[in-house]
Copies of this chain bind each other. A is one copy, B any other.
Amino acid sequence: MVDRIERGGGEHLDEFALIARYFAPLATDAAALGLRDDAAVLRPPESQEIVLTCDTIVEGVHFLADDPPESIAHKALAVNLSDLAAKGARPYVYLLALALPAEPQPAWLEAFASGLRELQREAGIALVGGDTTRSPGPLSVTVTALGLVPHGHAVLRLGAKRGDRLYVTGTIGDAYLGLRVLRQPAVGRDWGLSEEDLAFVVDRYRRPVPRSELVLPIRNFAQGAIDVSDGLVSDVGKLARVSHVGAVIEAGRVPFSAAAEKALRREPHLLPTLLTAGDDYEIVAAVPEASAVAFEAETQAKGVPVSLIGRLEGADTGLRVLGPDGKTLELDRTGYTHF
């Protein structure tokens, strides 16, 4: 707990100067009141519903202490944009609550703000408020994101139906490989990964790509959707459970990157881990058979690869994962939980 004279000059950067210098330029929406107030005032467009989501990332849990500040900022915003995309909601505005373990350095803050700036420009979202506090603990970043969706068109976890096809975007398991490589660099060579592969998987861990381009195809064709944060199997399980259906995932159809394919060739026993490790921030969509062709065409038009990985069945099926041999794969765990 540090007391300072509020308007203390010199090189010391107080909370208000910090906000004005680094964060006010990100507050491009009038609702933010230039961050000179302690609240934002929004006038949401009529006939739209607001989708609200909130995720915290903590040093040592969701990112590593020596991750670049740009990527920490990117990840904090990206994981929330990923939630909005899974709901078919267009990004609108966000708030940022930063708990900083030490007096922040200008270079760190500049890099952190640039990570937000880049992603918010891509995503079409603006900062409207938040809070900056000193903490005796690790760096912690909480983003609350608001999205917009026309009345009644939000895609929920619970709308999926028996018979729906299960699609997943992008590739699965890269972030796990990236985290392993960061913690234990030698492992990348055991897996036969090139320098390019190593950079790719690390980037997938640090800078997840929210699938915001798919907001419309998801909204138009998915009956249920979820983003993959805790693990593909676990998150499909959640979708199925709240929709009161069962699910079958065919591991042989799950999309892997070239880097992950290399690792799997050397160490086939990694398969269950990649299916359950999480941090992918890809989206699983449950799409009725009749809409499958249109969904595939629209996602292709947006340039985002999607793969059919399974199907929803009756609730009595539970959650089954079939191995490449067609037999049920027994998993020790389905995903990551905090406790």
Contacts and interface: CB of A to CB of B under 8 A. Distances in A.
Interface string A127-145: 0111111111110101010
Contacts of A59: 136
A29 B35 CA distance: 29
A121 interface: no
A234 interface: yes
Nearest to A235: B38
Interface string A1-32: 11111110000111110100000000000010
Contacts of A227: 38
Interface string A257-294: 00000000000000000000000000000000000000
Interface residues of A, number: 88
Interface in A67-99: 83-84, 86-87, 89, 93, 95, 97, 99
Contacts of A51: 39-42
A154 interface: yes
A44 interface: yes
A339 B41 contact: no
Q: Which 9 A-B pairs have the closest CB atoms?
A: A137-B137, A134-B338, A39-B53, A144-B144, A42-B50, A54-B95, A40-B52, A137-B138, A41-B154
